[in-house]
C-alpha cells in the first residue's frame, strides 16, 4: 500500500486520505489500531460485526467528506446488531441529506476502545515558488 495510497488520492484530486485508507496505512507501519472492517452495505456491516467485539463505532468513508462528525457520519458505542442497523440507516440518511453530492465509498466498522489515546496526524506539503 504505502505510497500507492497517496498516488491514488492525488489522481482523484484529493488532498486527504479517507478514514479507511488512513487506518490501513497506520496498520502497515505497525502502529496498533482497534480492529476494523470496510463495508459497503448494511448487510456487509451486519456480517462483519460478527468478527468484531461490541461496542462498535461506525464511520462514513467518503473521499468527499473530511469532517465526518459535522455531517452525522460517526456513530459511537453501538452495543448490538440492532443498534448497528439503526445507526447505519440513520447515518446514510443524514449524510445524504447534509452533503447530497458526496460520494459514499463505504463505511468503517471498528471496535470501540474505552481507554487509550486519540491521535490525529496531519501534514501538508508546501511548494515554494522562491528561486534559489
Domains belonging to the chain, first-starting first, are 35-111 (3.30.1490.20)
pLDDT at 128 over 70: no
Q: Determine if the pTM surpasses 0.85.
A: no
% of the chain with per-residue pLDDT over 90: 48
64: its cell numbers: 468527499
DSSP sequence for 56-124: EEEEEE-TT-S-GGGGT-EEEEE-SHHHHHHHHHHHHHHHHHHSTT----EEEEEE--SSS--------
pLDDT at 132: 46
pLDDT tens per residue, range 12-68: 887 777 778 888 888 888 888 889 999 999 999 999 999 999 999 999 998 788 788
pLDDT tens per residue, range 85-98: 999 999 999 999 99
Amino acid at each position: 500500500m504505502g505510497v500507492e495510497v497517496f498516488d491514488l488520492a492525488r489522481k482523484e484530486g484529493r488532498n486527504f486520505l479517507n478514514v479507511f485508507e488512513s487506518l490501513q496505512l497506520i496498520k502497515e507501519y505497525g502502529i496498533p489500531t482497534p480492529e476494523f472492517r470496510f463495508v459497503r452495505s448494511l448487510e456487509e456491516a451486519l456480517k462483519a460485526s460478527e468478527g468484531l467485539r461490541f461496542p462498535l463505532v461506525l464511520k462514513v468513508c467518503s473521499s468527499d467528506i473530511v469532517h465526518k462528525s459535522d455531517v452525522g457520519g460517526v456513530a459511537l458505542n453501538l452495543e448490538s446488531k440492532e443498534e448497528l442497523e439503526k445507526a447505519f440507516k440513520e447515518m446514510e440518511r443524514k449524510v445524504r441529506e447534509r452533503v447530497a453530492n458526496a460520494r459514499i465509498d463505504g463505511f468503517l466498522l471498528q471496535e470501540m476502545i474505552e481507554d487509550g489515546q486519540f491521535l490525529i496526524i496531519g501534514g501538508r506539503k508546501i511548494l515554494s515558488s522562491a528561486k534559489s
